[in-house]
Structure 1
Amino acid sequence: MTVGQRLIADWLAQAAPDSNGAWAEWLDHGVALLPLGRRFDAVRVPAARIHAAVGSDQPQMVADALESWLEGPVLRDLRSSLGPYYVLIEPGADWDGPDERLSTNTYLGVPRPGQPTMLTRWIVEPSQPGCLCDVRRLRALLATAEPLRTVGRR
């Protein structure tokens, strides 16, 4: 783990009431259940919508596109090929999109930076502590999903 990844992991762990508990979960399971609404919220976006918006379902192309567009952290649930993406945003950010916002009273399985797991993976790791996605950029990206899906059906 690099120094930068350690700083980011410390910042993420502080979302939990007991940051030592988050570290213990990472060590034991590779994933920590972190409460939303304190350090960050998440927008759950179906895989099909992300893939339509970026024009690919190839993992590296998706990762590159999301990193370029969103400039912030994105996780993916890997339990199925249809697993959703979780875009991490500021708590209280103005989100009015059709995709579900997850916040207070919700927990998200978050892998430790630099440590992929079988259940969930960073598609775009945080670049620094506190770096989150801008909802305006997420809206702009997702606005392309439906028109591209429609064109692809023709």
Structure 2
Amino acid sequence: MTPITSDPGPAAFDWLARAQEEPHQAHREWQERGSALLPLGKRFNSVCLPARIVYAGAGCDDLDVVTRTLAELLCGPVIHNRPKHEYYALVGKGSVASWRYADDAPMLGAGHFLSVPASDLRGPTGLHWAVRPRIVGDLCPVPAVAALVHIARGAQTGGHR
């Protein structure tokens, strides 16, 4: 799979690493394990998007098409955990209580952790970036993620939801 974004450089990943109390620990985990376990709710939250939702929103399950669709619709970083058949859109902290799609795509915040792949993990297997962060603080707008879930609901129910 060809990446659709340029190398974000170390600054975007330094920003993500600072979600941990000891950012150097995240860098060490990326180097040694290929992913770092980062706490949510400090710098960002995440919306867990089951693959069925993402594929319905994209209109197919072709990974290249799905990746392009996510980049265009969500305008921010998305992690693909292929073994679990889940995608994780990184969104701004807050808004967990007001997230209205919790049944289909729960928003995870404070008290949760997310495995975040190293910058060079771009798939197509295992845990990898479907869409990598482009700049420091790059996150998906919550309304864009909500729109994807809404589109997927409509596609799954023939437009009757």
| Preserved CA contact (<8 Å) 2:121 2:127 | no
- Native 8 Å contact 1:15 1:38 kept in 2: yes
1:128 aligned to 107, 122, 135, which one?
135
Summarize deviations over 1:73-127 as a string: whole Å, max 9, x none.
11111224xx111111000135222321111111110012223465311111111
Alignment of 1:5-154 (within 5 A): 5-80=9-84, 83-93=85-95, 94-98=98-102, 99-116=105-122, 118-151=125-158
Aligned partner letter, 2:90:
L
Cα offsets for 1:126-146 (capped at 9, x unmatched): 111101111111111211112
User: Any unmatched runs of 5+ in structure 1?
Assistant: none
| CA offset digits 1:28-55 (Å, max 9, x no partner) | 1000001100111001011001100110
Task: Work out the CA distance in 1 between the residues paired with 2:138 and 2:100.
Answer: 21
Alpha-carbon distance in 2 for matches of 1:139, 1:21: 32
Change (3 A) 1:141 1:3: closer
CA distance, structure 1, for counterparts of residue 82 and residue 107 of structure 2 = 19
SS at match of 1:79: helix
For structure 2, the 5+ residue unaligned runs are 1-5
Query: Identity of aligned pairs, percent?
Result: 34
CA-based RMSD of the aligned residues comes to: 1.9
Q: Judge conservation of contact 2:12–2:136 (CA < 8 Å) in 1.
A: yes
Q: Which runs of 4+ in 1 moved over 4 A?
A: none
**TM-score of the two chains, using structure 2 as the length reference:** 0.85
Given the two structures, how large is their TM-score scaled by the length of structure 1? 0.89
Q: Distance in 2 between matches of 1:137 and 1:51?
A: 16
